[in-house]
A = this chain, B = another copy of it.
Amino acid sequence: MARTAGSHSDITGPRVREAALRLFAQGGYAAVSMRAIAAEVGVQAGALYNYTPDKQSLLFDLMEGHMTELLAAAQDDAKLPADERLRKFVAFHIQFHHARADAVFIAYMELRNLTDDNFARIEAQRSAYESGLEQILRDGVASGAFQVSDTKIATLAIIAMLTGVNTWFRAGGRLSLEEVTAQYWEMVRRAVM
């Protein structure tokens, strides 16, 4: 009844975050107990408090980390033609979100469990991401490559459409992710060009 053999914060810490991510995505923040997370990691509930001040912070840190990664990974080269930038965006969005399905799910579903301050921070990050796409559309309209009457609406429509892939795509199904990406790109392209 004390420190256990082989225990290290460098190992337990990440495992706590991974377990919380998986369980929150699976059952929802409110339905997952600290005891359940601890059991998944293989420790008692009290040990979790070496890694987070409370359950709220655990959720927020997961969401904030995800959004920060998303913003860091999103690349855009304004010197490329708009249609090429848009194609890259579509491929990136589908690929990135597929690889982090649990975090994406949490970032969309658990916003209501955040305090006002934390909610505002996540929303600001989401807005920044959306602005990246909107800028591509605006530049494309300006150069005559795209015909979009409202870039804000088109931005939201495209993102909703692409993120929707996560709700049904499973590796090993009828189509590969590359094939799916090609089909979505074709629809997006035709919708704006």
Interface residues of A (CB under 8 A from B): 26-31, 109, 112-113, 149-150, 153-154, 156-161, 163-165, 167-168, 175, 180, 183-184, 186-188, 190-192
- Most central of A154, A159, A161, A163 by chain B CB within 10 Å: A161
Residue of B nearest to A152 (CB): B174
Asked, given contacts A27-B112, A30-B30, A191-B191, whether A156 binds B150 with beta carbons under 8 Å apart, the answer is no
B109–A183 touching, CB < 8 Å? no
Query: Across the interface, which residues of B come within 8 angstroms of A175, CB to CB?
Result: 150, 153
B187–A168 touching, CB < 8 Å? no
Query: Across the interface, which residues of B come within 8 angstroms of A153, CB to CB?
Result: 175, 180, 183-184
Rounded to whole angstroms, the CA-CA distance of A109 and B30 in the bound complex is 13
Nearest-neighbour CB distance to chain B for A169, whole angstroms, equals 9
Beyond contacts A28-B30, A30-B31, A31-B113: 13 other A-B pairs, Cβ-Cβ < 8 A, are A27-B30, A28-B29, A30-B30, A109-B109, A150-B175, A153-B175, A153-B180, A153-B183, A154-B187, A156-B165, A157-B164, A160-B167, A161-B164
Rounded to whole angstroms, the CA-CA distance of A158 and B31 in the bound complex is 31
Nearest-neighbour CB distance to chain B for A62, whole angstroms, equals 17
Q: Which of B161, B190, B192 sits near A161, CB closer than 8 Å? A: B161
Rounded to whole angstroms, the CA-CA distance of A157 and B190 in the bound complex is 13
